[in-house]
Amino acid sequence: MIGHKQKMVDNNQIGDSSEQVIRTVELSKTYPQMDVPAVDKLNLEVGKGEIFGLLGPNGAGKTTTAGMLTTRVIPTAGQAFIGGINVRKHPTLVKQLIGVVSQQNTLDRSLTVRENLYYHGLLFGMGVKESARVADELLEKFHLGSWGKKSVFALSGGMAQRLMVARAIFHSPAVLFMDEPTAGLDPQSRLALWEILQGLNSEGQTILLTTHYMEEADQLCNRVAIMDHGQILALDSPVNLKKSIGADAILTVRVEGDPLGLIEVLKLSIDGVSASREIEGGVEIQVSETEKLLPRVINLAESNGISILDISLAETTLETVFINLTGKELRD
């Protein structure tokens, strides 16, 4: 099936010659009656075998971007290519090259678990035998082997999602799209899904996921595009994005009374403070010198008559990168 699909793309002269699985050129969407674009001149390239993350807060334009790449949302400007094929011009062809897991449960409730896979195969032009074989193979692979004959109503949220992933990759798509894959999942199901996605990726599956969980982007993705207001603010590997901050750690101090005095004291007395901001009841400071930092801060506060309620030191995260870029938190 893969060979067949790849050949279809290679032989097709209707696309561009890009090696990238996903490519966008100034891709934009402004919804009717909206003054500002939901996606604004996006230029993006995702290579074969990558897990690529679109990370951003609510309304950043993640779903709209994924929607345009998966033929569901019609762009108002620019172009998108999947496997070199122009999405706008050849949506039917592109649909065969992609697998999509949306945020909603889109399983067919009138079918059994196994039938949800089997009929998907038939729909994508696979033969009866091949479709049955792949259905059984994927049920095993996704730990749903004993659930094949059951109604999809019997599945837990995590299981239903595994079935949707199995269905999305059934026809060996060139790229798997997942919109907020772990939103609403319990921590255990979230880890289980990460493992599944890593497993698929290690077999060569290209994946584009959207998320507003920085840990998810950090743990799972080879490269991450940080998005806000329909634009990419930064794009790199999680490690490089975090390095770009120029700080090794985040010091958080909560104090009694006004925290602003403490910011001044710390900036004056501690080396390597690269940024600071006020948070509820305290301050957050980005630092690159962490040796004996906590006792030094406590002493400094004491000698300046500031009472510390709580103090902690944590590694920088993609959230820190986002805050530096936008001045706000991912979950604001």
Ligand X SMILES: Nc1ncnc2c1ncn2[C@@H]1O[C@H](COP(=O)(O)OP(=O)(O)OP(=O)(O)O)[C@@H](O)[C@H]1O
Site residues for Mg ion per CB under 5 A: 62-63
What angle is formed at CA 54 by the lines to CA 49 and CA 58, rounded to 5 degrees?
155
Contacts of 291 (CB under 8 A, 6+ apart): none
* CB nearer to ligand X: pick between 225 and 253: 225
Q: Which of 61, 78, 83, 282 binds ligand X (CB under 6 A)?
A: 61
Which helix H or strand E contains 162, and what residues bound it?
A: helix 157-169
Taking Cα atoms as reference points, which of 215, 209, 221 lies closest to residue 322?
A: 215
Report in angstroms how near the CB of residue 62 gets to ligand X at its nearest.
3
Taking CB under 6 A as the binding criterion, the range among 30-38, 139-147, 154-162, 188-196 that sits at the site for ligand X is 30-38
User: Which of Mg ion, ligand X, none binds 58 (CB below 5-8 Å, type-dependent)?
Assistant: ligand X
Burial of 104 (0-12, 13-18, 19+ CB in 10 A): exposed
Residue 324 φ/ψ, nearest 5 degrees: -65, -35
Under the binding rule (CB under 6 A), the answer on residue 64 touching ligand X is yes
* CB nearer to Mg ion: pick between 29 and 62: 62
Structure tokens, 307: 């009472």
Under the binding rule (CB under 6 A), the answer on residue 62 touching ligand X is yes
Under the binding rule (CB under 6 A), the answer on residue 188 touching ligand X is no
Structure tokens, 29: 């969407």
User: Which of Mg ion, ligand X, none binds 127 (CB below 5-8 Å, type-dependent)?
Assistant: none
User: Residues binding ligand X: what is the number (CB under 6 A)?
Assistant: 12
* CB nearer to ligand X: pick between 59 and 125: 59
Collapsing DSSP to helix, strand or coil, 116 comes out as helix
Report in angstroms how near the CB of residue 231 gets to ligand X at its nearest.
11
Under the binding rule (CB under 6 A), the answer on residue 319 touching ligand X is no
State the Cα–Cα distance between residues 167 and 135, nearest whole angstrom: 9
Report in angstroms how near the CB of residue 67 gets to ligand X at its nearest.
7
Beta strands in the chain (DSSP E): 22-29, 39-46, 51-55, 77-82, 85-86, 98-101, 175-179, 206-211, 223-228, 231-236, 249-255, 273-279, 282-287, 308-315
* CB nearer to ligand X: pick between 61 and 84: 61
Under the binding rule (CB under 6 A), the answer on residue 31 touching ligand X is yes
Q: Which of 22, 55, 60, 80 binds ligand X (CB under 6 A)?
A: 60
Report in angstroms how near the CB of residue 314 gets to ligand X at its nearest.
24
Q: Which amino acid is at 35?
A: D
**String of contacts with ligand X for each residue 38-57, x by CB under 6 A:** x-----------------x-
Q: Which residues bind ligand X (CB under 6 A)?
A: 31, 34, 38, 56, 58-64, 212
